Structures are given as structure tokens and as C-alpha cells.
Structure 1
Amino acid sequence: MTPRRELVALVGADLLSNLGSRISILAIPWLVLETTGSPAKMGVVAAAETLPYLLSSGLGPPLADRIGLRRTSIFADLGSAGLMVAVALTPWLGFGALLVLVALVGTLRGVGDRVKHVMFRPAAEAAGVRLIRLTSIYDGLSRLTTLLGASVGGLLIWWLGPTLAILVDAATFAVCALLISSLVRRSTGRPASSAPERYSRALAGGLRYLRQDRMVLTMLLVISALNMVVNASIAVYIPLWVADVLGSPAGLGVVLGAFAAGSLLGNVLFTSFGSRLRRDLTFAVGAAVSGPPRLLVLALSDDLVVVVLVTFASGIGIAVVNPLLGVALYERPPAELQSRVIGLAGALAFAGLPLGALLGGASVTTLGLEPALLTAALFIVIVTAVPLAAALRATRTEAPLVRASDRGRIST
């Protein structure tokens, strides 16, 4: 197995796991609706996986360092496969048991996802692939997987029913475990000769690093805020705008599809030209373009064409944000801290997702749609102004381009 094929197997396993998870995100609530008839319980079961996922993403990697990253990934995928089989085949256990099973799946997924991402760096370095190119390609493929997962999940539920759709997700986890165990040999973590580090000390080391690295912490806070607004837009703002202005759910797919299409184009452009760009300024501009414009256009325009064009441009902006955070997390932390830093970073970056839908609904209920959109836009303008101002200030004292030999570190 050549290093490049090993990298492809590792990335492929991660994307396959993501595809299966997107299927189950649709199939499990649908199974709940069929078995209980309760829309409220659909939301509860979706939340039951999200919170453990966030917690284990941050708290699990120090344990994975002790067990071994490759071994942890295999165990997490096998455990997830078994639990998903139980979810599909034992609905008679009751709703409480279903919540426990789904929460355990979320816990294992959070650890497994973070561990695979840590393994990307040694696999990429062995294959001679630049980290910025890997993170950009991965981000584009991940967004494509999200789009495909929603479509495939809907079709599988229609063709096979939710039970068999969930079993398909279980099969994807099993295949992931097989790919990692048979094709991926490279791992990272605590050297075998070193003494185990206390869990609390290991976790504190990751937290201490994030507090000290102001650049990475700023990027994480910006992305968490963007995730919050994106989720509020998907769950609340865009559906309400479509219902009020267009009166047809068809417009929902058009607006969301425009953002996805823009992000895919942005990934292609960034993969081709990203290494020539100054990273701090690129991140700041991308974050500023991806958030406020798409909110403002919903608040100020009733023209679908205008909304679609601005949303498409915002999608191009978001495409540079995650890859640049990814390469910073790979390049900046010391190797011995990388797994716990990436785990904590993932938990912080995704923390905005569950908050987004809640705050989006509360803001519309309290203020109305247009004031809520303007308030959210103002919030993101303030958040993204911090890295943008820092990048512009640094531009006056540094060269506009980062040389390829500079390891691509973003200036603080």
C-alpha cells in the first residue's frame, strides 16, 4: 500500500462515514414519526445525537491518544455499526432506549471523526500532499457528500423504508472500519515508550494551547458564529422568507442549492489558487463575504434572482474558511497536543449549530423576520470585523503573498 493510496483510503473512509450519517439523520427521525407519530419526538431524537457528538469531540481525543488513534477509529466505527443495527431492528424497546442508543452513536461518532482528522496529517506528509490542498479538497468533497447524503437518504427511505435505510448507515460504518484496519497503517498519538498522561492533564494541555494561540482561537470563534447563523438560516430564516415571499417550498431548494453550488465552486478555485494567497486576509475576507450579505439580502429584497446571486457569492466565501482553519490546526499545535487540540476545536466550531436553530426561532418570535435578519447580520459583521481588521493591519507591514516555503502560517 503506497502512502498516497493510504491517504485516499483514510479520506474515503471518513467521507463514507459522513455519507452514512447524513442518511441516518433523515431516517431515524422518520422512523420515530412512523412508530410514535410525534413531531416533537423527532426533534428530541435528533438533539440526542448532536450533544454527545459535540462533547465527545472535545473530551474523547485525550483517551484516544492513550488507546491509539487508528485503533480508536476502528473501534468507534464497529461500535457505531452495531448500535445502528440495534436502532433499526429493536424499535419495540421504546423511545427511551432509542434515545440512549442514538446518544451512544453520537458519542462514538464524535471521537471517530476527530481521530480520523488527526490521522490526515501524517498520511498527507507521507504521501507528499500539501496540507492546504488536502484540507481544501476534503472540504469540497465533504460538502458534496452532505448534498448527496440528503438526496440518497430521502430516496432510500422512499424505496426501502427507514429501517433498511438505517441498516445502510450501519453498513457504511462497518466498511469504514474495514478500510482503516486493512488499508491504513499509519497512526499518531502517544509514543509507545512514553508514560500515560493523566486524562485531566492531557485535556488541560489542549485547553491551555487554545487559550494561548489567539489566532486559532479567533478563527474558531468566527466559524462557530458562522455555523450558528448558517443553521438559523437553514432551519428558520430561509424557510420563512420563502413562505412569505414565494409561497412555494420549491424556492427553498433553489436558495439552499445556490449556497451549496457557490461553496463547491469556491472549493475548486481555492484548491487551484489558494497556495498563492495570503491566508489571514483570505480567511477574513471569506468569513465576511459568507455571512452578512446573505442575511442582508433576505431582509432587504423580495427578488429571488437577487437572493440567489448573493447567496451563491456567499457560498464561494465560505469555501475558504474551513480549509484554512484545518491547515492551521495541522501546522500550528505541537504534535503531542494535536489530537486534543483538534478535538476541542471541533467541539467549539460546531457548538454554534444547536444554538443557531434555537436563537433563530426565538429572534423571529420576538422581533419578526426582517429585524431578526438585520440583527443577525450586524452580529456577524462585528464578529468577522475582528480578523479582517487584524489582517488589513498586518498587510501594511508584511508582503501580500506567502511564499510556498513559509509553511503557510497565518500571521497573528
Structure 2
Amino acid sequence: MTALSTALHTRWQRSVIRRSPQLTTLTLSSIFSETASQFVGVALIWVVLVTTHSPADAGLVVLCRRIPEIISGPLLGPWFDRYAPVPLTALGYLVRGGTVAAIAVLSAVHLLSLPLLLVLCLFMGITNPLASVGSRVLIPRIVSTEDRQVANGVLSISDQFPYLVGPAMGGAMAGFAGTWALLVPAGMCLVALLLLIPLRAAGVRETPSGADSTPPPSGRSSWFGFKPMVTTPVVRAMMLLTILYYISYGPLLTAIPVFASTNLHSGGAGYGAMWSAMGLGALGGLVSIPRLAKRRPAVVNSVGAALWGVALLPLVVIHSLPAALVVMFVGGLVWAPYASTEIGVIQHSVPEDQHGAVFGARRSVIVSSSPTGAALGGVLLEHMTAVHVIGLSAVSCVAGGLICLALPSVRKTPPLNPAPDAAPAEEPATVAD
């Protein structure tokens, strides 16, 4: 037991969390905010369906919350390169929580109409990048360069954990309390906002490196964040992979519920359990990030996309829920390092005074890619079985990963955090005098 205590103490002393308490604060703040977002996404759909009995109205609510980010992400992202990111992130939390609280109160006093609800959802959608981009911009300002990749992995908990608990809480509490349940995510946003106060008080560096001598580029001069995605080879390759990955992944969103019903005969409970299994796997897979940080990041993600497709393929021959849960859990393990690795490449390859613009543009790409894939899945389900759609999605992920793995910029990208005992890069040969 003493040896174990010593090992744990040594591990703690070396951990990035101990060296950067601000990272823990930022991660907790982001967890509360993103859990609130997932809660609201499910709760609003339930409330609208119960109130109007119209799936079309529920679809409009989802559309109004998501689509505006495609435009507002590139427009608001550059703000983080020109102004202090902590107050901007706090503003995003304030708007998110305040709007949700307004929906609850207006519904309670019978003043909430569908048009007004759609306007409020549009407002949430437009300002959502303020709550989502800030944490990515702040990472390089609170941790050292060598700790950045692992810090991104820690922050990824705020991407995975909310998917595990937010929808379950939102569905259960909306069914019990109706729109009053929305006060819970409003409170979560308040907690997230309060957690940002220590970051402000701790004197977190608010300006990008070099900003004192050279003003950061405007959004227009950096093509609103898209320019590095086109002109920087490794970032271009990573974003190409992300687009292929998310479009290939999207059909699962529409195919999995049909698969759970027709092939597993498990209904809504099985459907929810499958995504929960993936969420658990994604949380567990985060422990692999420190080791993978010593590998070539673009190769890690390309191989990861291909392995995700391979992990998913067994679903085409599975007819039992327990086996499907195992497959989804393994898929989550494979998926876990993807976002933090991609973010680390962007942070390393793009000047810090353009991080906000690029992450805003990245948000636009992701928000547009996943629904596109989901819509494609819906069309395919009109002509194919759920098993065939899942198989096509898996094969597409394998193909996308292998295509990107063949790109020279992917294979040549060095590790962002190489192992201490790694052999030094080979020096070019010189001609003797």
C-alpha cells in the first residue's frame, strides 16, 4: 500500500492539473456549461413535442439553435484574438443561461409562443460560439507548451461527460417538471460563470503572444479563420479529415435509433444505452491522450478515424443489445483522443493571435458537417436498411482515415510533445570543405 501511495503521489506531482490549477477551474466551468447545453437540447424538444404535438416545430427549434453557428462562429471567433477571452466566455455563459431562464419564466406566465421561442433559440445559436471557443483559446495561456496536449485531453472531459449526463437529465426532468426544468441548466450556466472569476483574479494572460508589438489580424484579413485551414498543410489535412469524419459519422445519428428498434428490439432504452456506452468509452479513452501525445498527431487522428470505422463494422452482424453496447464502448475508446489531438495541432501550427478566429471557423465546419451527415443518413434510410447505413458509415470512416494518412503533410507532422528519450531529428548532411 505504501508503494501504491508513493506512486500515486509521484504521479500527482508530475500531473499537469497540479502544475496548473487554472486548468481544473476552466474544465469544471466548461463541464457545467456544456452539460447545460446538452440538457437544453433534449428538454426543449420534449417540451415542444408535448406542447404542440408537432415534430416539425421541434425540428425548427433544433434548427434555430444550431444553424446560426455556421455564420456566427467565423464572425465571433476573431473577437477572442482582439479582446480578453475570459470576459467574452463569461458573456457566452450569461447569454446561454439567461435565455434559457427567460424561456422557463415566459412559459410559466403563459407568454411563450412558438415564434418567440424560435427567436430566443436563434439568439442562443448566434452567441453560442462565445461559450464554446473561449476554453480552446485559453489553454495556451494557462499551461506551458509541453503540457498543452495533455491539457487539451483534460479539457476534453467537458466534451464527453456532458453527452453522458446532459441528455438523460434533460429528458427525465423535462418529463417531470416541463419548462420549469430549464431553470436547472440556467443554474448550471451561473455556476460556470462563477467558476471563471478565479481565472480572472489569477491574472490569466488575456492577450496572445506578441500582441503587444503586432496587433492581431482582423477576421477579414484571416478569411474569418478559414485562411489557415487552406494555407497551412497539416491544418488543411486535419480539417479535411474532420469534415470526412463528421459527415461519415452523421448517418449514425439517424440509423442507430432505427437499428436499436428493428435489429435489437430494444426500443428507446436500448437506443439511449448505446450512446451512453459510447460516452463511457470516450471518457475512459481520455487516459490514452498523454501517451498518444508523444506520437505524430495527424497520424494518430487518421489512424483513429480508420479504427473507428473498423470498430463499428461488427454492428452489421450483431443482433443482441449487450454485444452492441460493447461495440459502442470500444468505439468511444477509439474516438476519445480525436478532438484534443486536432485542437493541439491547430494550437501548435497557427499563430496564437489567430486561435480565436480559427476555432470559430472550426466550430462552423463541425456544426455544418454533422447535421449534413445526419440528413444524408435520413435520405439513405428511405432506400436502405439501418444495417446497410451503419456499414456504409463505417467504411466511409475507414476510407477517410486512409486517404488522409496518405497525405505527406500528415505523415511529416512531428509529435507535439515527443518522448524525452526520443531520438533527435536527423540533421541534414553537410558537404565537407
TM-score scaled to structure 1, two decimals?
0.86
1:337 maps to 354
Equivalent-residue separation in structure 2 for 1:55 and 1:398 (angstroms): 33
2:390 maps to 373
Which consecutive unaligned segments of at least 5 residues does structure 2 have? 1-17, 426-433
User: What does 1:30-45 align with in structure 2 at a 5 Å threshold?
Assistant: 30-45=46-61
2:151 maps to 134
Which consecutive unaligned segments of at least 5 residues does structure 1 have? none
2:125 maps to 106
SS at match of 1:56: helix
Q: Choose the corresponding residue for 1:72, options 88, 95, 98.
A: 88
Q: Is the 8 A contact 2:304 2:401 kept in 1?
A: no
Alignment of 1:118 onto 2:134:
no
Q: 2:297 corresponds to which letter in structure 1?
A: R
Greater share of helix: 1
Residue 305 of structure 1 deviates from its aligned partner by 4.9
Residue 100 of structure 1 deviates from its aligned partner by 0.9
Equivalent-residue separation in structure 2 for 1:256 and 1:378 (angstroms): 20
1:261 maps to 280
Residue 297 of structure 1 deviates from its aligned partner by 2.4
Residue 85 of structure 1 deviates from its aligned partner by 1.9
Q: Choose the corresponding residue for 1:246, options 264, 268, 272.
A: 264
Equivalent-residue separation in structure 1 for 2:276 and 2:263 (angstroms): 18
Equivalent-residue separation in structure 1 for 2:219 and 2:401 (angstroms): 35
SS at match of 1:291: helix
Q: Choose the corresponding residue for 2:231, options 192, 195, 212.
A: 212
2:31 maps to 15
Q: Choose the corresponding residue for 1:25, options 28, 32, 41.
A: 41
Greater shift in the superposed pair: 78-87 or 321-330: 78-87
User: What does 1:2-401 align with in structure 2 at a 5 Å threshold?
Assistant: 4-91=20-107, 92-125=111-144, 130-159=147-176, 161-184=177-200, 185-186=203-204, 187-189=206-208, 191=211, 198-204=218-224, 206-233=225-252, 235-249=253-267, 250-271=269-290, 273-294=291-312, 296-390=313-407, 394=411
Q: Is the 8 A contact 1:62 1:202 kept in 2?
A: no
Equivalent-residue separation in structure 2 for 1:114 and 1:369 (angstroms): 35
Equivalent-residue separation in structure 2 for 1:169 and 1:155 (angstroms): 13
Deviations 1:246-276 (A, max 9, x none): 22223323432332232222212334x2234
Residue 365 of structure 1 deviates from its aligned partner by 0.4
Q: Is the 8 A contact 1:262 1:314 kept in 2?
A: yes
Equivalent-residue separation in structure 1 for 2:55 and 2:226 (angstroms): 38
Query: Is the radius of gyration larger for structure 1 or structure 2?
Result: 2
TM-score scaled to structure 2, two decimals?
0.82
Equivalent-residue separation in structure 1 for 2:163 and 2:410 (angstroms): 37
Residue 199 of structure 1 deviates from its aligned partner by 4.2
Q: 1:282 corresponds to which letter in structure 2?
A: V
Equivalent-residue separation in structure 1 for 2:239 and 2:159 (angstroms): 19
In structure 2, the CA distance between the partners of 1:246 and 1:307, relative to structure 1 (3 Å rule), is closer
Q: Is the 8 A contact 1:11 1:120 kept in 2?
A: no
Equivalent-residue separation in structure 2 for 1:195 and 1:394 (angstroms): 34
Q: 2:300 corresponds to which letter in structure 1?
A: T
Equivalent-residue separation in structure 1 for 2:98 and 2:142 (angstroms): 28
Q: RMSD over aligned Cα, in angstroms?
A: 3.1
Deviations 1:53-107 (A, max 9, x none): 3332222112343343222122222222222222112232411111111111122
SS at match of 1:246: coil
Equivalent-residue separation in structure 1 for 2:317 and 2:172 (angstroms): 36
Equivalent-residue separation in structure 1 for 2:255 and 2:118 (angstroms): 28
Q: 1:214 corresponds to which letter in structure 2?
A: P
In structure 2, the CA distance between the partners of 1:378 and 1:32, relative to structure 1 (3 Å rule), is same
In structure 2, the CA distance between the partners of 1:255 and 1:163, relative to structure 1 (3 Å rule), is closer
In structure 2, the CA distance between the partners of 1:314 and 1:345, relative to structure 1 (3 Å rule), is same
In structure 2, the CA distance between the partners of 1:310 and 1:392, relative to structure 1 (3 Å rule), is farther
Q: 1:320 corresponds to which letter in structure 2?
A: P
SS at match of 1:71: helix
Q: Is the 8 A contact 2:288 2:337 kept in 1?
A: no
Q: Is the 8 A contact 2:31 2:159 kept in 1?
A: yes
Aligned length: 398
Q: Is the 8 A contact 2:296 2:414 kept in 1?
A: no
SS at match of 1:366: coil
SS at match of 2:266: coil
| Overall identity of the aligned pairs, in % | 23
Residue 329 of structure 1 deviates from its aligned partner by 1.5
Q: Is the 8 A contact 1:3 1:123 kept in 2?
A: no
Greater shift in the superposed pair: 360-369 or 17-26: 360-369
Residue 385 of structure 1 deviates from its aligned partner by 1.0
Q: Is the 8 A contact 2:250 2:374 kept in 1?
A: yes
Residue 304 of structure 1 deviates from its aligned partner by 4.4
